[in-house]
């Protein structure tokens, strides 16, 4: 089993696809059995995918658009917000398949159809994979996870991210086997000859500010402790959104260091959190979020810093490396998802994130996308969709 990554910032989509695939093939010294492809929206992504299919043939391809660039073990692939990267796995003893389905009006059914396509392409219909790797349009990720778990149960790890663009303008895309979608779920079913391990964390710490959701619907948080949610949040953060409460406007950038957390579980008494990122205000004083909250849940104001968002990526990678060492195994390759909101906050130092991630992953090939939502499996086995989080999968031999 062998992994290899490649990257390009060539402007021409054909040149970029050819350059990436040539390097990938040379480094693998074999034909890949699956390719993971991430590119910025600045490309003609249909052309990139078409050229890659022409080069790779019927190899399964999984991926989507990433915000402002892509990172690999060689560093960032980004030139003024333009770049692509790909990861190839050559694994004659494994099986891999990719499926896609338009989300439409039934996200759960779409996820199930995509999953069935992926299992079929892998030659393993009806079997349970080691793990699933997702790329989906933002908006209904919780329902996608529910649909998958209706078929497979809750014990199969589900990880990945939600496709992104450079300016949160809705120009994100999803890739599957040469096709490009705007509102689909793409699933890779992975039956690897290696062991897989994973980690799902954030770079934030809880504060003493805690309240209960007393009114919410989907991704709109109306009230905390029977008070308008935006007012409560503004008080908790010391006036972070004062101007927007008076004049309206997007609050995405001002809330990145202050997400709302919910306790998912505890390990030896220490809680771990699923995060929601506030992005806007409703006319009646509510908050719109990038993930769902439910009435009755307890919310904790979380706090992060630029330094913590940089160092946390390395600590997440170190956590899975420590697991590999404890099992007397070595990392051979990794898939990484890093929240685009966090990336934009640390953008001037994002090379540090890429470099540190590469170091803790032992210098082995990895690919990392910057997404508008993260899916992962917590240490207690809970598959969740969150925001401002980091999801890492390592393959161990």
Mean pLDDT in consecutive groups of 10 residues from the start of the chain, 397 residues: 97 97 96 98 98 97 98 96 98 98 98 98 97 98 98 96 96 98 98 94 94 98 98 98 91 96 94 96 96 98 93 73 75 96 94 91 95 96 96 93
Q: SS3 of 363, please?
A: coil
* Tokens coding 86: 């790909």
The confidence score (pLDDT) of residue 369 equals 98
Q: Assess contact for 177 and 54: CB atoms under 8 A.
A: no
Residues 214 and 189 in one domain: no
Beta carbons of 109 and 147 less than 8 angstroms apart: yes
Same domain, 283 and 180: no
Same domain? For 14 and 156 the reply is yes
Whether 194 and 319 share a structural domain: yes
What integer pLDDT is reported at residue 284 of this predicted model?
92
Domain count, the chain: 2
Model pLDDT, residue 152: 96
Asked if residue 195 and residue 71 are part of one domain, the reply reads: yes
Helix axes 350-360, 306-326, angle to 10 degrees: 10
Q: Could you tell me if 225 and 364 lie in one domain?
A: no
**Nearest of 175, 113, 176 to residue 144 by alpha carbon:** 113
Say yes or no: 251 and 320 in one domain. Answer: no
Clarify whether residues 53 and 164 are in a common domain. Answer: yes
Q: Which domain holds residue 124?
A: 2-201+308-396
pLDDT value at position 79?
97
194 and 214 belong to one structural domain = no
Last residue of a domain, one of 271, 303, 335: 303
What is the reported pTM? 0.96
Question: Which one-letter DSSP state was computed for residue 42?
Answer: T
161 lies in the same domain as 252: no
Residues 214, 191, single domain; the answer is no
Residues 11 and 89 in one domain: yes
Distance, CA of 107 to CA of 147 (rounded, Å): 7
| Structural domain ending residue among the three candidates 303, 326, 342 | 303
């Amino acid at each position: 089993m062998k992994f290899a990554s490649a990257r390009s910032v060539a402007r021409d989509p054909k040149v970029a696809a050819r350059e990436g695939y040539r390097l990938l093939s040379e480094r693998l010294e074999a034909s890949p059995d699956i390719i993971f492809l991430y590119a910025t929206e600045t490309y003609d992504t249909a052309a990139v995918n078409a050229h890659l299919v022409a080069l790779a043939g019927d190899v399964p391809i999984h991926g989507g658009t990433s915000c402002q660039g892509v990172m690999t073990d060689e560093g960032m692939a980004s030139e003024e917000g333009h770049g692509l990267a790909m990861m190839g796995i050559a694994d004659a003893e494994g099986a891999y398949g990719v499926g896609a389905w338009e989300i439409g009006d039934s996200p759960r059914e779409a996820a199930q159809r995509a999953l069935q396509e992926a299992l079929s392409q892998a030659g393993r219909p009806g079997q349970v994979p080691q793990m699933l790797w997702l790329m989906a349009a933002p908006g209904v990720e919780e329902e996608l996870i529910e649909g998958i778990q209706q078929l497979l149960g809750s014990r199969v790890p589900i990880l990945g991210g939600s496709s992104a663009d450079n300016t949160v303008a809705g120009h994100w895309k999803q890739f599957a086997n040469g096709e490009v979608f705007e509102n689909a779920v793409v699933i890779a079913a992975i039956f690897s000859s290696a062991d897989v391990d994973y980690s799902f964390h954030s770079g934030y710490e809880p504060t003493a500010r805690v309240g209960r959701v007393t009114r919410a619907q989907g991704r709109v948080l109306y009230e905390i402790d029977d008070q308008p949610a935006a007012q409560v949040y503004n008080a908790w953060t010391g006036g972070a959104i004062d101007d927007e409460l008076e004049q309206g406007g997007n609050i995405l950038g001002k809330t990145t260091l202050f997400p709302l957390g919910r306790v998912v579980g505890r390990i030896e008494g220490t809680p771990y959190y699923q995060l929601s990122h506030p992005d806007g205000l409703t006319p009646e004083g509510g908050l719109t979020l990038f993930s769902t909250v439910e009435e009755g849940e307890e919310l904790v104001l979380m706090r992060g810093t630029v330094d913590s968002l940089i160092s946390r990526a390395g600590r997440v990678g170190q956590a899975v490396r420590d697991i590999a060492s404890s099992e007397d195994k070595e990392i051979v390759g990794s898939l990484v998802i890093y929240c685009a909101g966090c990336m934009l906050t640390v953008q001037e130092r994002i090379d540090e994130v890429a470099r540190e991630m590469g170091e803790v992953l032992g210098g082995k090939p990895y690919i990392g996308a910057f997404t508008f939502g993260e899916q992962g499996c917590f240490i207690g086995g809970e598959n969740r969709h969150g925001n401002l989080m980091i999801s890492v999968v390592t393959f161990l031999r």
